[in-house]
Amino acid sequence: SEAHRQLHVFFFPFMAPGHIIPTIDIARLFSARGTKSTIITTPLNALHFADNISRDKQSGLDIDVQVIPFPAKEAGLPEGCESINSITSPDMVIKFFKAVELLQQPFDMLLEKHRPDCVVADMFVPWTTDVAKKYGIPRLVFHGTSYFSLCVSENITRYAPQEKVMSDSEIFVVPGLPDQIEMTKSQLPNCGNRDSYGFSERQEKIRDSEVKSFGVLVNSFTELEPAYADFYTKELGRRAWDIGPVSLCNRNLIDKAQRGKKASIDEHFCLNWLDSKDTDSVLYVSFGSTASFCTAQLLEIAMGLEASNVPFIWVIRRLHNKEENNFLPEGFEERMQGKGLVIRDWAPQVLILEHPAVGGFMTHCGWNSTLEGISAGVPLITWPVFAEQFNNEKLITQVLKIGIKAGNEVWNSWIEPQDVSVTKDRVEDVVTQLMGNGEEAENRRKRASKLGKTAKKAVEKGGSSYNNLSALIEEIRLHSQNI
Ligand code: UDP
């Protein structure tokens, strides 16, 4: 009967690892509750998770990938440029978004053919709300960030506090929020005269499509940011379901080791290395899938880590100056033997964070990394670089009080030239503070550990996120029955 018919949900992530990775987790969570999940993506992006999906299928999940070609050439991009990570210049950003727009027609055709019961589509494909509406299909928006960040962004748009300050570095309070959140203009994407490659126009479309959508899916959990979950739904009037941390759906070793893409280090080697270290003694250092530092900044990090004398795992990715490979200090890796592990390119992040030897995380505050750190119950060193990472930093340091700022204050995307923003001495100082035994460090650690436990409870049967997903699936079913 209709009440027992299997629901079919489409998932359409933006072509960036930080969006694809959690969307796949969400698709798996839906399938685990009995829906059929179809992930729509482009050929090169699909390659990264094809193995994971076929393992899921073997284990009985009803989950599939539907590939559509990416119109790179039509948009004036080089062949094979299918991810935000392949972008190396500002004009490529504009072209990339143009290519994404061109996906509207093939997406429309897929909807017409398959008529799913619901579409979970990324914030960066705002046109999906209207396309889905044509077929009476509800569209859910996935931003991939926190309630907190959504509230901060909305109130900055509404009240424009940045327009009232005299300089880029003057502190202002974001009006109307549950806490006094302090920011500067230099931390915003449209700081100065630069409009970050069509940011404002895109932002307007995103907002408009969100207001008209069925609601918003949030990778968070109610207990983490209750005041902001409330603010978002009651004050800002959005319908929203928080169903995270979604990374916790990766329960076995291989899932964790290959999340996003196959790690560039053997997972067993990595685990053995961590096994040889004391509990809470290792700092994990990673800046996500896209941020990339200039050589001078990498040197400062290397020297600061060495001077701190704290064991570490450091993931280094390079987009700038690709040809330069000798960017570490002379003899660094030899001296760090046994003390520090450098991973080039891709780390099995969730696996590392969950190891009991890891006691801190230096992060660029991408929301996935932030939430993965929180789920693992470790305190954080915050080093935001671009996008809404500065918002997430405020949540970590000003609201949750589970982190210390490294001190970068300037929004700087990965394709722009950059300076050193955090010196060796500062790196040493924050690492020593975070990993040390002082009272403040202990309290921070306790708060983080408690949040980690709450996060795990939220996704267990009967937990807040678990129940929210049940409620959402029921709403989708009701909607389907009524059309
Ligand atoms: N990630 C990973 N290994 C790496 C770098 C990143 O597994 O070496 C994963 C990380 O666990 C997270 C995602 O990639 O799930 C990055 O998303 P985030 O929102 O933290 O930052 P972004 O990459 O979008 O800046």
338-387 pLDDT tens trace: 999 999 989 999 999 999 999 999 999 999 999 999 999 999 999 999 99
Give the Cα separation of 141 and 124 in Å (integer).
9
143: three-class secondary structure by DSSP? coil
Using a 6 Å cutoff on CB, does residue 31 contact ligand 1?
A: no
* Helix or strand (DSSP H, E) at 454: helix 439-459
- State which ligand 1 atom lies nearest to the alpha carbon of 349: 7
Ligand 1 near 13 CB (within 6 A) = no
Q: Is 290 in the pocket of ligand 1 (CB under 6 A)?
A: yes
Cα-to-centroid distance, 6 and ligand 1 (Å): 32
Q: Which residues contact 171 (CB under 8 A, 6 or more apart)?
A: 165, 182, 183, 184
As for the ipTM of the complex, it is: 1.00
Region of 313 (left: φ > 0; alpha: ψ -120 to 50; beta: rest) is beta
Contact partners, residue 133, CB within 8 Å, separation at least 6: 139, 212
Distance between CA 444 and CA 473 in Å, rounded?
A: 37
Q: How far, in Å, is the centroid of ligand 1 from the Cα of 98?
A: 25
Which has the closest alpha carbon to 14: 136, 111, 79, 101?
101
What is the biggest distance separating any 2 CA atoms in the chain, rounded to whole angstroms?
Answer: 70
Distance CA 145, CA 142 (A): 8
Q: Which atom of ligand 1 is nearest to the CA of 363?
A: 20
Phi, psi of 174 (to 5 degrees): -75, 115
Burial of 371 from C-beta contacts in 10 A (0-12 / 13-18 / 19+) = buried
285 CB less than 6 Å from ligand 1?
A: no
Count of Cβ atoms closer than 10 Å to residue 337 Cβ: 8
What's the N-to-C CA distance of the chain in angstroms? 15
Q: Answer whether 395's CB lies under 8 Å from 389's CB.
A: no
Residue 25 has a pLDDT of 98
Q: Is 368 in the pocket of ligand 1 (CB under 6 A)?
A: yes
122 is catalytic: yes
- Position 330 scores a pLDDT of 87
Compute the distance from residue 453 Cα to the ligand 1 centre, in Å.
22
Catalytic residue among 25, 56, 117, 122: 122
DSSP state of 77: P
Residue 390 Cβ inside 6 Å of ligand 1? The answer reads: no
CA–centroid distance, 288 to ligand 1, in Å, is 4
Q: Which is the closest atom of ligand 1 to the Cα of 372?
A: 11
Tell me the helices (H) and strands (E) count for the chain, helix number first: 18, 15
Run of H or E including 215:
strand 215-218
Give the Cα separation of 302 and 399 in Å (integer): 30
From the CB of 260, is ligand 1 less than 6 Å away? yes
Query: Tell me, what's the pLDDT at 483?
Result: 72
User: Within 10 A of 193 (CB to CB), how many other CB atoms are there?
Assistant: 5
DSSP 398: I
Identify the sign of the CA torsion 52, 53, 56, 57: negative
pLDDT at position 83, please? 95
Predicted local confidence at residue 159, as pLDDT: 95
**475/481 Cα distance (integer angstroms):** 10
What stretches of 221-267 adopt beta strand conformation (E)?
Answer: 240-242
Q: pLDDT at position 292, please?
A: 86
The pair of three-digit structure tokens given for residue 98, joined into one six-digit string: 């143009």
Bridge partners of 172, per DSSP, are 183
The DSSP element (H or E) to which 432 belongs, if any, is helix 424-435
Is any ligand 1 atom within 6 A of the Cβ of residue 346?
yes
Query: Ligand 1 pocket check: which of 20, 28, 289, 414 to mutate, most ligand atoms within 8 Å of Cβ?
Result: 289
Residue type, 50: A
Residue 415 pLDDT: 82
Q: For residue 369, how far is its CA from the centre of ligand 1 (angstroms)?
A: 6
Q: Evaluate: CB of 245 within 6 angstroms of ligand 1.
A: no
pLDDT score of 192: 58
Q: Tell me phi and psi for residue 305, to 5 degrees.
A: -65, -45
Residue nearest to atom 24 of ligand 1 (CA): 18
Torsions phi, psi for 359 (to 5 deg): -125, 5
Q: b/e per residue, 361-370, with b = 16+ CB within 10 A?
A: bbbbbbbbbb
> pLDDT below 50 — which residues of the chain?
none
CB 423 within 8 A of CB 303: no
> Residue 268 C-alpha to ligand 1 middle, in angstroms?
20
How many angstroms separate the CA atoms of 384 and 396, rounded?
11
Distance 430 CA to ligand 1 centre (A): 22
